[in-house]
């Protein structure tokens, strides 16, 4: 038979490693938090472990072609989704509270209820949880609920309504934090999963799968978003969007709905999450410069047409920048929309001055603006 299970090669590998590494130190290998029940060794600062043990622990199928001396590892997407949801689900919580009496939201009126709920994701083992600002800004008696029914009183540590991100803290140690994906790692067509609490707490840790529909999407908000076709509904807000590695790629925040509208969900990308969390830790808030100028987009940018046109200054309190000037770069980053401008600030502002490249009556210029 051409294809055989990989038992033989695994046994041989363990024997060879065991013989040559008698004096070497044994190692433990964990896959998605679970220790492999297989020998592993460190040789020349490298960890060696049977291929089959690692692959099958991740739900992959392993086969061996004896003619070509080749090992084949295949992981079905279905298995990857199941494993990812099971692993990351341990880091996802529901957030519940009652609306403040002076801030009864439209959602509460629509559902004829006086409680609010959303989703959060654990980002530190000490009980630090990330969610949307709009989930927690108007609620009291904040309670965090785990999938097993355990609940803990929580409090809002930080909140930034512009980015729609907030940090909640509970008194619980030893939690499993989510792993963050590298920034700018998403590509259109990539499979992603949303986990959250849609509609009611009865649906805690409900999962839905889709693909990335767009990255760096301008939807008229302060920053750019990731678009996907995962199904999210009221209550999913603040929950994680994850890749098949179980890494956080975004925080679910907005969806388009209406007659003829389907599969348009938007998530705050991980680079914005990192920026906001870093600002919370450094300053207790997100620093945003006030340069005393008002900007407007070109008509192309307003309707979403790709354009190289800059931002026109309509009001200015600065002597260096005048109404009618067109801003083309902010701290070296090209800007064609208000979201581009805010992204440039996010990437480069450190509390100091801002450098603006502009054109005035067709003539290029550079101005350094001191911020407030």
According to DSSP, the β-strands at 115-124 and 151-160 are: unpaired
Hey, how many other C-beta atoms are within 10 angstroms of the C-beta on 277? 20
Is the CB of residue 321 less than 8 Å from the CB of residue 367?
A: yes
Q: Rounded to an integer, what distance in angstroms lies between the CA atom of residue 107 and that of residue 127?
A: 28
DSSP letters for 318-336: -SSS-TT-EEEEETTEE-S
- Class of residue 360 by CB neighbours under 10 A (exposed 0-12, middle 13-18, buried 19+): middle
Tokens found for residue 277: 């969390």
Residue 241, CA atoms < 13 Å, CB-side half-sphere? 30
- Rg (C-alpha) for the chain, rounded Å, is 25
| Helices (H), ranges, the chain | 7-20, 51-57, 77-88, 106-111, 133-136, 270-283, 299-303, 338-348
Q: Rounded to an integer, what distance in angstroms lies between the CA atom of residue 185 and that of residue 215?
A: 10
Hey, how many other C-beta atoms are within 10 angstroms of the C-beta on 184? 11
Q: Rounded to an integer, what distance in angstroms lies between the CA atom of residue 226 and that of residue 210?
A: 13
- From residue 103, how far is each of 56, 139, 253, 312 by CA, in Å? 52, 8, 20, 37
Residue 339, CA atoms < 13 Å, CB-side half-sphere? 16
Q: Rounded to an integer, what distance in angstroms lies between the CA atom of residue 252 and that of residue 233?
A: 10
| Terminal alpha carbon distance of the chain | 75
Q: Rounded to an integer, what distance in angstroms lies between the CA atom of residue 254 and that of residue 268?
A: 9
Active site residues: 134, 164, 237
Q: Rounded to an integer, what distance in angstroms lies between the CA atom of residue 293 and that of residue 321?
A: 8
């Amino acid at each position: 038979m051409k294809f055989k299970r990989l038992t033989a090669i695994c046994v041989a590998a363990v024997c060879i490693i065991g013989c040559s590494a008698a004096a070497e130190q044994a190692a433990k290998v964990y896959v998605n938090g679970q220790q492999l029940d297989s020998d592993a060794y460190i040789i020349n600062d490298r960890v060696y472990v049977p291929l089959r043990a690692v692959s099958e622990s991740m739900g992959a199928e392993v086969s061996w072609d004896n003619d070509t001396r080749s090992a084949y590892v295949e992981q079905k997407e279905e298995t990857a989704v199941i494993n990812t949801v099971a692993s990351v689900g341990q880091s996802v919580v529901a957030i519940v509270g009652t609306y403040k009496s002076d801030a009864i939201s439209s959602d509460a009126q629509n559902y004829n209820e006086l409680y609010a709920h959303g989703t959060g994701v654990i980002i530190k083992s000490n009980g630090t949880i990330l969610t949307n600002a709009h989930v927690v800004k108007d609620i009291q008696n904040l309670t965090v609920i785990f999938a097993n029914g355990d609940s803990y009183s929580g409090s809002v540590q930080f909140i930034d309504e512009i980015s729609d991100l907030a940090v909640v803290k509970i008194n619980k140690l030893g939690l499993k934090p989510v792993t963050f994906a590298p920034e700018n790692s998403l590509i259109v067509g990539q499979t992603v999963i949303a986990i959250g609490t849609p509609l009611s707490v009865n649906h805690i840790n409900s999962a839905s799968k889709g693909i990335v529909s767009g990255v760096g999407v301008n939807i008229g908000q302060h920053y750019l978003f990731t678009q996907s076709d995962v199904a999210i509904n009221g209550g999913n807000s603040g929950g994680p969007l994850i890749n098949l590695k179980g890494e956080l790629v975004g925080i679910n925040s907005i969806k388009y709905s209406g007659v003829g509208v389907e599969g348009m969900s938007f998530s705050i990308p991980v680079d914005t999450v990192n920026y906001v969390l870093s600002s919370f830790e450094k300053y207790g808030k997100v620093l945003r410069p006030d340069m005393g100028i008002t900007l407007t987009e070109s008509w192309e940018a307003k309707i979403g047409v790709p354009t190289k046109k800059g931002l026109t200054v309509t009001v200015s309190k600065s002597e260096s920048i005048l109404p009618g000037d067109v801003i083309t770069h902010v701290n070296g980053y090209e800007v064609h929309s208000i979201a581009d401008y805010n992204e440039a600030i996010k990437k480069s502002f450190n509390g100091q001055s801002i450098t603006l490249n502009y054109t005035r009556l067709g003539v290029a210029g550079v101005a350094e603006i001191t911020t407030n």
